[in-house]
Structure 1
Amino acid sequence: MCLGRGSRIWCSVIFILQLRSRLLATGASEWTYIGPHGEDHWALSYPECGNHQQSPIDFHTCIYDPALQPIQLLGYNLSATENLSLTNDGHAVKMTLPPTMQMISMSHHYTAVQLHLHWGSETEDLGSEHAISGRHYPSELHIVHYNAEKYNDISIAQDKGDGLAVLGILIEIGSFNPAYEKIFSHLKEIRFKGKEIKMPGFDINDLLPQQLDEYYRYNGSLTTPPCYPSVLWTVFRKPVQISGDQLLELQRDLYISQVDEANRTGMVNNYRHVQKLWERKVFMSFHEDTLNADHKLTLGVILAIALCSVLCVMVALALSCFFLRKRADKTTENRGVIYKPATSKEDVLSQA
C-alpha cells in the first residue's frame, strides 16, 4: 500500500520496473521491424539492443587469421524419418533442428537448435542482414547453435557471453535450389502467424555453400530482441543461390498476421540494418589475396589484354624503327655516288 506523494511515485517506479521485467521474461513486447515498435525503438524494451556488440555488421575491414580452420558439421545429413517443426512465428519462418546436429569450431562443440531466414520484398533490393563491403544479398539463412560444453540448453546459454554460435549463409539469385525448395514448398501451409507443421528431414548440408573454409568471424549479438551479445558469428564468404521464383515464395507466401485478423500484413523486410562495429575486430579465414577472387579473374584478363597491347605497340615501334633505319641507310648510300660529266660522245652513250 502506497501512502503519500513520495510513496506513490516510488510505487509507480516499482510497478513499471516489474511490468518491464515481466515483458522481458515472457517476450510479450510486440516488437516489429518498422513503426513505433521497430528496430529504432527496441532498446526501450530490450536494453541489450543498444549496446556496443550488436549484429549484423558490414564486413569491410577484416584481419586474416590463419588459425581459423574449416567448420566441421556433424549429423547434418538428417533422415527423412526425422520430423522437423516448421513455424511462422510472426517474424520469420523457423525450422527446429535435432540435438544430434553438431558444429565444431576451434575445438569447441555446439549443438544445433533451429534455423530461420531473413529477406526483403519485391520492391526492396536488400534482404540479408550482413553485408560485404556495402553489398547486401536478397536473403540470409541463420543456423543457431548453443555451447553444449558449458550449458545444458539454449534457454540457459542465450544470454551468456559465450553461449551461442550462429552460421550465416548469404543467398543470391541464380539457379533453382532443390534443398531450399524442401522448405519453401511448405510455406503456404504456415502462411499465418502461429501456424506450425511437421516436415521430413533432409540433408541440411545442402543449404550451405560448398566451401566451409572461407568465412568471416566476429563476436556479436542476436539480430532480434532481446539482442543478447552472446553470439560467435561465422558468416560464409561464398553465397548460395536460389531462383528468382523461390525468392518470390518468401516475399509473397507469408504474413505476420494471424488467420482471423481482418487487415493482413505480409511478412517482408524482416531484417535488421547493419550496426556499428565500434572497437570490435573482424577476422577472416582466407587470405586477403583471395578476396574478391571472381573480380580478380576479370582483372587478370584485363591485365593480359593490356600486356598484349603493350607488346604489340613495342613490336610495331621496333618494325617502324627498322624500316626507317633501312630507308636512311639507302638514302645515305645514294648520296655517296659521284657522277662524272660526259666529255665525249662515247661517254654520253654509256650514260644513256
Structure 2
Amino acid sequence: MLLNRTKDGEHSEPDPLNGTPADHFGVGGASSNVSKTLEIKVEAPHVFRTPEKMEFLVAALITVCVLVSRTDGGETSADWCYHLPKCSDATWPYTATKYCAGKRQSPINIDSSAAEADCSLTAFSFVNFDNKFSLKSITNTGRTVKVGFYRGVKISGGGLSEEYDSLQFHLHWGNGFAVPGSEHTVDRKRYPMELHIVSMKSSYNGNISLAVADSTGLAVLGFFIDVRASGPASEPASWTKLTSYLSKIPTKGDMAGIAPGISLDELLEGVDRTKYYRYLGSLTTPMCNEAVVWTVFKEPIQISRELVSFFLFFWELNSDLCCITKRGTLH
C-alpha cells in the first residue's frame, strides 16, 4: 500500500548522509504539514488518496539524542541538535528557514484510513538487491550507522520518474523498547526502528547539489523494523551478520569493510514490497530540503528483540549517536 504526499561504496560524490548540503538524508517536519496522501496496493491496481488537503498536527516535540552538524552554505551555518533547547527541532524553522518551515516536511504520521489507492503506483524494479557483494562498508557517523553500497545498486518503477542510484542505507532507533525509534508512524504507532535506503536520480551522476534542488531528486525507501513474535523460526542470518559489525565501529568515525555474504534482499526478507505508502516530503534534518520521494513500506522487517537491543547498547556507548526526529508525528 502507498501514501502520497508528498558514499558510499565507490561513489566519489559528497556523502548523502554526512556531506553537504544536508548532513542526513531523512525527513524533517514543521508544525503542520499539508499534502495529499496515498496508499497503494500493487497486486490490485487500487490507490487510495486523501482529500486535497490534509493537516498533520503536531502538539509536542520529543527527541531522543543530540546531533550537531552544519547547514547548507545557502544559509548561515548553525549548530542543530535534537533535544537541547537552544538547537532542538523546535528551532529548526528559525535557524534553517529556507526549508524547515516548509509545507511538505517529514516525517509524517500516516493516517491509513485517509489514504487512497493510486493505480499509477506500480511495482518497483530492484537492481543488485540480490547481490551478496553489493554492501561495501559500515560506518559510525556519530549520528547513525550507515552502510555504503558499491556502484550498480539501483531502483526504478514504483511511480518514480526515472532510474535512481542507491547510495546507502542508515538506521533510526530510540532508547530501548520504552522509546521506540521509527521516524514515521502509522495511525500514531511508532515502531522500534526504521531503515532508510537513500537513492538519487541517476541522471544527476552523483551531484548532490542538483538532487536536493529537485523536488523529486532523491528517493528514500523506508522500512519499519519490528520485533518478531517468538517461535521456532531461526534468527535472520543476514541481520546477525550485519549487527556483528557494530563491535568494530564503537566510536564516531569508525568504519569497517563488509565481507561478501549479505544482500539487501536478505535484509528485507519477509516484506511485501508491493504494499507501500507514497508521499512527497523532505530531509528530516536541516537543511530539510523538500526533495524526497518517500516510499514507506507497510509491512515491517522482523528481527529478534536481542538484535534490536544491540542498537540500544550501541546508543548508550555513543550518547551523541543519532536516533530519531519525531517532528510531525506526535499528537
Relative contact order: is structure 1 or structure 2 higher (C-alpha 8 Å, sep ≥ 6)?
A: 2
Q: Residues of 2 paired with 1:59 and 1:32: CA distance?
A: 25
Q: Residues of 1 paired with 2:119 and 2:257: CA distance?
A: 42
Partner of 1:109: 163
**1:144 pairs with 180, 195, 198, which one?**
198
| Letter in structure 2 aligned against 1:222 | L
- How far has the Cα of 1:210 moved from its partner? 3.3
Pairing 1:173-322 to 2, within 5 Å after superposition = 173-174=227-228, 176-201=235-260, 202-208=262-268, 209-254=270-315, 265=319, 267=321, 270-275=323-328
Q: Residues of 2 paired with 1:256 and 1:24: CA distance?
A: 29
Q: Residues of 1 paired with 2:279 and 2:117: CA distance?
A: 12
Does the C-alpha gap of structure 1 residues 222 and 69 become closer, same or farther in structure 2, counting only changes over 3 Å?
same
TM-score of the superposed pair, with normalisation by structure 1: 0.64
Q: Residues of 2 paired with 1:145 and 1:24: CA distance?
A: 20
Q: Residues of 1 paired with 2:73 and 2:240: CA distance?
A: 35
Contact 1:163 1:231 in 2 (8 A): yes
Does the C-alpha gap of structure 1 residues 235 and 185 become closer, same or farther in structure 2, counting only changes over 3 Å?
same
Contact 2:143 2:320 in 1 (8 A): no
Q: Residues of 1 paired with 2:257 and 2:77: CA distance?
A: 26
1:78 aligns with 2:131: yes
- How far has the Cα of 1:32 moved from its partner? 2.0
Contact 1:57 1:275 in 2 (8 A): yes
Partner of 2:107: 56
1:41-87 CA-partner distances (Å, limit 9, x unpaired): 2233322122111111111021111221111101112334x561211
Identity between Structure 1 and Structure 2 (%):
30
Partner of 1:90: 142
1:65 aligns with 2:118: yes
- How far has the Cα of 1:28 moved from its partner? 6.5
For residue 50 of structure 1, give the secondary structure of its aligned residue in structure 2: coil
| Letter in structure 1 aligned against 2:121 | L
Q: Which protein shows a greater Rg? A: 1
1:239-272 CA-partner distances (Å, limit 9, x unpaired): 1111111111011124685xxxxxxx2636x111
**1:100 pairs with 124, 128, 152, which one?**
152
- How far has the Cα of 1:228 moved from its partner? 0.7
Partner of 1:130: 184
1:114-152 CA-partner distances (Å, limit 9, x unpaired): 100001112633211111111110000000000113554
For residue 40 of structure 1, give the secondary structure of its aligned residue in structure 2: coil
* Shift >6 Å, 4+ stretches: none
Does the C-alpha gap of structure 1 residues 31 and 178 become closer, same or farther in structure 2, counting only changes over 3 Å?
farther
- How far has the Cα of 1:196 moved from its partner? 1.3
Partner of 2:175: 121
Q: Residues of 2 paired with 1:79 and 1:168: CA distance?
A: 21
| Letter in structure 1 aligned against 2:149 | L
Q: Residues of 2 paired with 1:101 and 1:141: CA distance?
A: 17
| Letter in structure 1 aligned against 2:82 | Y
- How far has the Cα of 1:23 moved from its partner? 5.2
Structure with the bigger percentage of strand: 2
Partner of 2:73: 25
Q: How many residues of Structure 1 are paired with residues of Structure 2 in the alignment? A: 247
For residue 149 of structure 1, give the secondary structure of its aligned residue in structure 2: helix
Contact 1:255 1:266 in 2 (8 A): no
Q: Residues of 2 paired with 1:234 and 1:129: CA distance?
A: 13
| Letter in structure 2 aligned against 1:195 | D
| Letter in structure 2 aligned against 1:242 | I
**1:45 pairs with 95, 101, 110, which one?**
95
Contact 1:90 1:256 in 2 (8 A): no
Contact 2:71 2:96 in 1 (8 A): no
| Letter in structure 1 aligned against 2:89 | E
Question: Gaps (5+ residues) in structure 2?
Answer: 1-69, 230-234
For residue 114 of structure 1, give the secondary structure of its aligned residue in structure 2: strand
Does the C-alpha gap of structure 1 residues 125 and 23 become closer, same or farther in structure 2, counting only changes over 3 Å?
closer
RMSD, aligned α-carbons: 2.5
